Chain A
């Protein structure tokens, strides 16, 4: 029962973060804010992965003091999360580099002002 509650709570949080982040991107008036909203969207995937890997009452998959093979939380999901975090952090780095460059070039950081290519 508690596993279901945790899972649903996690899904709700993940969904909320996803939509909030998208909302932030859409209504953003500053590119740094846009990048941070993208971070929020990324966080939704972290939460989703974390809650999928959850097994109620079980310890981490580190078998130093436990005998190998004893029940533990999902290690594959944690590996996926690790990969996801690294990938998304570097994508944010790229976005921020673009932001800095745009600000340097056009003295504005408002994504709505940048509409040179239209139509």
Chain B
């Protein structure tokens, strides 16, 4: 279709969609007692049943934990697929990059920025671990903390360049960590089978509320997820940074 036709078709469709949006939105918001049911159940039960103060994490890792497994594996498969599409493993053989440090397009930062970045990495890592482990108490959890930790690795690259980045976070170790994170969540779910309970039941002692150990399996799942998310995003960094550093013409 020519651009004109394509735009015309889309605009007609968009007008229709607007009409549909109006039709579907008219009875909303519905009666409060109806649409608040799930929220009320969780809000009243999360503390009582699992000793956790963060209801969102309780939903994510316990009540609807099975969704989170699917989500984790979407991350797993997308990272694997992206790395594979960027042909990190095949074309470059076992070495990830031969001499990235000498590449003229590697990032060079000033000394002042270097110092500041290095100083920031440690607090970032600590903060990331804090977020991961405190998911069941305050807003946080494996996903959020994992992204923070991954950005710490990114800062390492920005400050020190790809050669150092490669040495501190070796590719093979990160791949392994990602798989362990993904499999770990499944293993925690399978633990429940030994007690005769359905998959993903929270069978570890729930600990005291407001403590790090509250929530039973939730902190463990949080750590496993954090590991996977961190490793996943670092792998993505690997893949895309390497694209940037390869001189043109080299396939």
Contacts and interface: CB of A to CB of B under 8 A. Distances in A.
Contacts of B74: 86-87, 90-91
SS class, residues of chain A in contact with chain B: helix
A12 to B, nearest CB: 9
B67 A23 contact: no
A100 B60 contact: no
Contacts of B137: 64
A62 B243 CA distance: 42
B31 interface: no
Interface string A40-79: 0000000000001101000011111000111111111111
A90 B21 contact: no
Contacts of A97: 81-83, 85-86, 239-240
Given A26-B10, A76-B38, A96-B240, A83 B86 contact: no
A7 B29 contact: yes
B78 A83 contact: no
A4 interface: yes
B25 interface: yes
A4 B30 CA distance: 10
Interface residues of A, number: 46
Contact of A94 (B64, B85, B210): B85
Given A26-B7, A94-B85, A100-B243, A62 B138 contact: yes
B71 interface: yes
How many B residues are at the interface, by size bracket? Answer: 35 or more
A46 B108 CA distance: 37
Contacts of B85: 94, 97-98, 101
B82 A93 contact: yes
A69 B14 contact: no
Nearest to A19: B14
Contact of B81 (A4, A70, A75, A94): A94
A114 interface: no
Given A82-B56, A97-B82, A97-B85, A87 B71 contact: yes
A68 B71 contact: no
Given A62-B139, A86-B143, A101-B86, A26 B6 contact: yes
A100 B78 contact: no
Given A86-B143, A97-B86, A79 B56 contact: yes
A68 B46 contact: yes
Contacts of B39: 53, 55, 61, 72-77
Closest 3 A/B residue pairs (Cβ): A68-B47, A90-B78, A75-B55
23 contacts: A15-B17, A19-B17, A53-B39, A61-B43, A61-B54, A61-B55, A61-B56, A62-B139, A63-B47, A72-B39, A72-B55, A74-B36, A75-B59, A78-B59, A86-B74, A90-B74, A90-B75, A94-B78, A94-B85, A100-B240, A101-B86, A101-B87, A104-B251
